[in-house]
Structure 1
């Protein structure tokens, strides 16, 4: 539009507003913005945008914002134009809060009166239709002229805004805006602002590709590549040859699990700032399970060639399933874990999370392990039954899940401890006794230490260590 056309357009809008016919004659995108603004309860007579950030906090907020590294380029590209044409240049965050402002001094003073300055918010829900808020709401560049603003105080202003969209997350990061009085800001300014916005997005894309390259290099260096490579923001960048996952999966669940497009549950393993996605094993491809539940270390499960750390509750469930190969109902599992105070609903939720890690390895109705199972505590029990004392001493790394309060597992733990200790005292070689003395209970066991001092040669370092422990115990 030329100046005469803009004047006629402005007059037509003013007359329509005075007649209460807001939508009469306005552009479609402006009418839609007015609708959102009135739905938000905007008062046309407010005189300035709200202040939401104290000026003293702006510096730290800027430093933490993802657009901070790009603002020198944005400002250097547009500042001279803004100065020479008596405009101001603004960069906001995704919520329309102004973080940076440059431009003509006199125009900045006028802008201060309406809150076009650092720390003020210009979202549509705060001030109605404007170049910043409407660009953010629509994710498109927009020019808002004079009477198109909801606020009457802005009818001497025009503004051109363009959103900046992160190519990594597809989320809006902020907005670039050039504002000035309605007589000086040409509608074509929006094309310039849009170009600078696209330039900022291209810089973000370069940085994204550099991160992807580093992540792929770490993945390529794996001797045995397992899992599908996912960025920290959920983009699939390697390992999905069929493309069945699509370009992106959700990675925000703090539990580390995600629901895939086909309904399967996947587990996300942190990997050099990104993730390795492990999906459930297919039917007929179940991998053997090996449980490491003895001793003070973190309990874990080997599923094929993957070693997964287990929470105490998940370790308890797997131990109980290993003890009951024919399976347990949720009610039975609950009783074994909590006694009469158990809640089957809690068990079902835990099983759901555990199946996300182990997939079809755990079946339902009843809950049971569907593949071959090796558990260190069961191995020790078998070795004792076969009188393989040396083997039992080697495998026994300490009590079964020592932090578990499960009535069933406490009983199993105590029985196994008594069996191992008795066997070592009766039949154990010095090496067997010394291996048991390295466990949590054996370390301070007076009878075991005395026997070690008796059976080991006086100069044996193990005898000296046992004697020292006895002395400390005294």
Structure 2
């Protein structure tokens, strides 16, 4: 594949790889789990419970076609690499070995790293790899999630030659990953273990980069539901999720409406939302959520509070309910964006700044572009792109 025919997600990954300082002519990937740590680490990893199943279902198929099956953790560290001895010896030449780290910020564009970054199935074919030494290989990878919390556990990957560049390969990898997730769920039920125990409802809410929030409900009795809320209901639920002690009708109205609105309007909206979600979830006097709440914007806030900017940037999918003009939502959105942006400007992390400036909300951020130019240094291959964007903004701001 020539560079002028590159897929968008691959081009984005190349930019992130370059911004992180990965060298295209680097031969191997770094080892972040040395042998003396690898065995204990992977024995304790949740995927160790399903690795025998994966090896039986997919590992043997990989060996039969001179390919490899690999399983990584959520940080991109390869915990298991399976293949014939001859294939494994070839893979050693590019550092595709147990204990190596294939996060794209360390190893450049590759399928396991890109699947981790996008949290979705991907394939990377030959010259789409950022590092030249890997361009003789092709790979297909898909994430594996915890069936209880939906958190990312790692990635399942098939790496080989041209024989794996067929749709059936990705279908087989995805099927094996879903089988592993089903086995993890059965294991939890069998031993009576769950990561989270709830006396009642639990709500997972996604509002970053979305005009309409996505809601996942768990009533604590094995019943689950997924809903897409209307813009107004999204605003109400977000404001309640941000106020665990609840809000009076007057407080909620001030946060929700730009102009004075009759209390009957708020009551009508709240009743419609209660009809949709059920009486057990929504309480009044004060208005509040009678549930445990997990939310994507709360996760960003928590990562920032802990000083983990990289995790905060990974979790930040865009501004909170970007089309909302509800005063309380606007304030929450601006506070979160400003906190993240200021931390990023102070960080000096060029690859994270590149993620921001390549986003829809950060592409015209002049201050971030100039900070990124300072962070990459004068020898960076990204410098021409950065200078071009700064020149564009200079013209537009005249």
* Aligned position for 1:90: 70
Q: Is 1:110 matched up with 2:90? A: yes
Q: Is 1:194 matched up with 2:174? A: yes
Q: What is the SS of the residue equivalent to 1:42?
A: coil
Equivalent of 2:24, from 44, 51, 58?
Answer: 44
Equivalent of 1:59, from 36, 39, 61?
Answer: 39
Contact 2:146 2:181 in 1 (8 A): yes
Q: What is the CA-CA distance between 1:228 and the residue it aligns to?
A: 3.2
Q: Is 1:228 matched up with 2:200? A: yes
Q: What is the CA-CA distance between 1:264 and the residue it aligns to?
A: 2.3
Cα distance in 1 for residues equivalent to 2:121 and 2:63: 22
Q: Is 1:150 matched up with 2:130? A: yes
Q: What is the CA-CA distance between 1:86 and the residue it aligns to?
A: 0.7
Q: Is 1:185 matched up with 2:164? A: yes
Contact 2:148 2:195 in 1 (8 A): no
Contact 1:265 1:280 in 2 (8 A): no
* Aligned position for 2:219: 237
Q: What is the CA-CA distance between 1:179 and the residue it aligns to?
A: 0.8
Distance 1:280 1:62, change over 3 A: same
Cα distance in 1 for residues equivalent to 2:115 and 2:141: 6
Cα distance in 2 for residues equivalent to 1:74 and 1:61: 18
Contact 1:264 1:280 in 2 (8 A): no
Equivalent of 2:153, from 162, 170, 173?
Answer: 173
Contact 2:148 2:194 in 1 (8 A): no
What whole-Å deviation, never above 9, does each CA across 1:128-179 have from its counterpart, x for those lacking one? 1101101111111111111000000011111111111223222211011111
Contact 2:29 2:101 in 1 (8 A): yes
* Aligned position for 1:135: 115
Distance 1:60 1:235, change over 3 A: farther
Please give the root-mean-square deviation of Cα atoms over the aligned residues, in Å: 4.0
Contact 1:96 1:122 in 2 (8 A): yes
Contact 1:34 1:150 in 2 (8 A): yes
Alignment of 1:33-432 (within 5 A): 33-181=13-161, 183-188=162-167, 189-208=169-188, 228=200, 236-238=218-220, 261=241, 263-265=243-245
Distance 1:228 1:212, change over 3 A: farther
Cα distance in 1 for residues equivalent to 2:137 and 2:195: 47
Distance 1:46 1:215, change over 3 A: closer
Give 5+ residue unaligned stretches, structure 1: 1-9, 17-23, 220-226, 247-258, 267-278, 284-474
* Aligned position for 1:7: none
Q: What is the SS of the residue equivalent to 1:202?
A: helix
TM norm structure 2: 0.51
Q: What is the SS of the residue equivalent to 2:46?
A: coil
Q: What is the CA-CA distance between 1:185 and the residue it aligns to?
A: 2.7
Q: What is the CA-CA distance between 1:184 and the residue it aligns to?
A: 3.3
Distance 1:262 1:209, change over 3 A: farther
Distance 1:215 1:121, change over 3 A: closer
Q: What is the CA-CA distance between 1:236 and the residue it aligns to?
A: 4.5
* Aligned position for 2:351: none
Give the number of the structure whose alpha-carbon radius of gyration is greater: 1
Distance 1:235 1:153, change over 3 A: same
Cα distance in 2 for residues equivalent to 1:204 and 1:265: 36
* Aligned position for 1:287: none
Contact 1:212 1:237 in 2 (8 A): no
Cα distance in 1 for residues equivalent to 2:87 and 2:195: 47
TM norm structure 1: 0.43
